[in-house]
């Protein structure tokens, strides 16, 4: 969690709702956010895996890029191929520096006449500055609309039916990483077939003035459990999804992080860091991100030391006791030669060096189609 001086934290438009529900509020990315509700992190996690949970993620940033060169500009600073997007399609990508390292990971939404970038709250100022530094020469404009937008993530096996019951447009045909526009509970929304949990679900973007209306409508439309940041982290870790500040940072390239599929070296538009990423693609990298488990029931945490061959090689990126699998799981970077399923190393947990084993990511994968 990000430490912020008292009095400087923002609140989402649902802050009072979370307080009324008894949520534990913590500072995160410059906001007061619910980390858990009285039900507890494990119960919230299990609700998303088996039924439906709803997250207030209104702290996320949204940036509109508009103009004749909007796609060329975004393509020039990101690793994926924005120009391959159809209208109504979404792309996961990384925002890059000239040295190929990651400024942020983000979603790119293609509308008929503009793009929307969804960025991490903790990186909002940094991302905006980086985009502004690189926009010269492109015929487009950039507008930060973050403070006027609420974002709810409705996730779990029952989530599609619950959202569909409130929507005035059909949702059955929306594929993973596509979106539509329509009313939910009478409120105009971007209805996005995305999530950060490894489950079915939708993310809803709409005017922040209607946040309580949409929240209450979803909560009463089915067996929906309010879910906080705590289980959001355990869910995304089980699903093998990266978190900026843990698996990703400004010293790491997407290829080191195992995000090769986000790097489109053959795309038409030149982009920041391409030379570095071409070289890494051809020659490999010194280190790679891996998932691991520990046989003992000890929980690896962010920052715990990692030892390979008797040498300290880094730290745990993320770790938890998996609520779904019932075993300790985590991620870390290891030498490329060690990034092989079954390789063993050690994790320093409170002064004890415990054996860990590289396993294939993701730890958990939902049965059935995406």
DSSP letters for 218-250: HHTTTT-EE--HHHHHHHHHHTT---BTTTB-T
Fold that domain 10-58+147-238 belongs to in CATH: Gyrase A; domain 2 (3.30.1360)
Give the 3-state DSSP-derived string for 286-338, with helices as H, strands as E and coil as C: CEEEEEEEECCCCCCCCCCEEEECCEEEEEEEEEEECCCCCCEEEEEEEEHHH
Q: How far is CA 270 from CA 72, 211, 252, in A?
A: 9, 40, 20
CATH of domain 286-370: 2.40.30.110
Choose among 239, 205, 201: nearest CA to 222: 201
Asked if residue 293 lies in contact with residue 327, where contact means CB atoms within 8 angstroms, the answer is yes
Residue 4 has what pLDDT? 42
CA gap 51, 288 in Å, rounded: 35
- What are the extents of the domains in the chain? 10-58+147-238, 286-370
> How far apart, in whole angstroms, are the C-alpha atoms of residue 217 and residue 267?
43
Helix (H) or strand (E) holding 165: helix 159-166
What pLDDT sits at residue 282?
98
Tell me the per-residue pLDDT of 132-145, one tens digit each, with 9 for 90 and over: 999 999 999 999 99
Structure tokens at 129: 């500055």
Q: Is position 203 annotated in a ligand binding site?
A: yes
CA angle 232, 236, 239 (to 5 degrees): 145
Q: For residue 357, what pLDDT is reported?
A: 99
User: Tell me, what's the pLDDT at 65?
Assistant: 99
The pLDDT, as a whole number, for residue 367 is 86
Predicted pLDDT of residue 369: 58
Instruction: Say how far apart CA 151 and CA 59 lie, in whole Å.
Output: 8
Buried b vs exposed e over 145-170: b needs ≥16 C-beta within 10 Å? ebeebbbbbbbbbbbbebbbebbeee
**Structural tokens at position 59:** 């702290």
Write down the pLDDT at residue 336: 98
Q: Using CA atoms, how far apart are residues 152 and 208, in angstroms rounded to an integer? A: 11
pTM: 0.96
Query: How many residues does this entry show for the chain?
Result: 370
Q: How many CB atoms neighbour CB 45 within 10 A?
A: 26
Helix (H) or strand (E) holding 206: strand 201-207
- Give pLDDT, residue 368: 76
Look at residue 29 in the predicted model and tell me its pLDDT: 96
Residue 370 confidence (pLDDT): 53
**CB neighbourhood size of 339 (10 A):** 16
Tens place of pLDDT per residue across the chain (370 aa):
344 444 589 999 999 999 999 999 999 999 999 999 999 999 999 999 999 999 999 999 999 999 999 999 999 999 999 999 999 999 999 999 999 999 999 999 999 999 999 999 999 999 999 999 999 999 999 999 999 999 999 999 999 999 999 999 999 999 999 999 999 999 999 999 999 999 999 999 999 999 999 999 999 999 999 999 999 999 999 999 999 999 999 999 999 999 999 999 999 989 999 999 999 999 999 999 999 999 999 999 999 999 999 999 999 999 999 999 999 999 999 999 999 999 999 999 999 999 999 999 999 999 875 5
């Amino acid at each position: 969690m990000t430490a912020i001086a008292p009095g400087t934290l923002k609140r989402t438009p649902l802050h009072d709702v979370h307080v009324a529900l008894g949520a534990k509020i913590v500072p995160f990315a410059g906001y007061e956010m619910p980390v858990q509700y009285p039900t507890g992190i494990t119960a919230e996690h299990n609700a998303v895996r088996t039924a439906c949970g709803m997250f207030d993620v209104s702290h996320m940033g949204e940036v509109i890029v508009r103009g004749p060169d909007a796609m060329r500009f975004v393509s020039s600073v990101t690793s994926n191929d924005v120009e391959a997007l159809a209208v109504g399609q979404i792309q996961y990508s990384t925002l890059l520096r000239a040295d190929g390292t990651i400024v942020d990971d983000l979603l790119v939404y293609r509308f008929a006449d503009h793009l929307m970038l969804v960025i991490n709250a903790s990186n909002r100022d940094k991302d905006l500055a980086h985009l502004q530094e690189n926009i010269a020469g492109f015929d487009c404009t950039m507008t930060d609309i973050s403070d006027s937008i609420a974002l709810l993530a409705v996730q779990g096996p029952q989530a599609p039916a619950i959202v569909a019951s409130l929507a005035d447009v059909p949702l059955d045909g929306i594929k993973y990483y596509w979106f539509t526009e329509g009313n939910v509970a009478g409120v105009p929304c971007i209805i996005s077939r995305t999530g950060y949990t490894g489950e079915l679900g939708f993310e809803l973007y709409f005017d922040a003035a209607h946040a309580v209306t949409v929240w209450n409508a979803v909560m009463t439309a089915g067996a929906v459990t309010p879910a906080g940041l705590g289980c959001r982290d355990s869910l995304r870790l089980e699903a093998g999804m990266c978190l900026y500040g843990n698996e990703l940072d400004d010293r790491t390239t997407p290829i080191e992080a195992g995000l090769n599929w986000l790097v489109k070296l053959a795309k038409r538009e030149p982009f920041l860091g391409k030379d570095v990423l071409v070289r890494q693609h051809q020659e490999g990298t010194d280190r790679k991100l891996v998932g691991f488990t520990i046989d003992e029931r000890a929980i690896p945490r962010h920052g715990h030391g990692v030892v390979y061959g008797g040498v300290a090689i880094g730290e745990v990126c993320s770790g938890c006791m998996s609520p779904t699998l019932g075993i300790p799981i985590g991620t870390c970077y290891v030498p490329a030669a060690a990034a092989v399923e079954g390789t063993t190393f050690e994790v320093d947990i409170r002064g004890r060096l415990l054996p860990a084993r590289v396993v294939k990511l993701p730890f958990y994968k939902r049965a059935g189609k995406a």
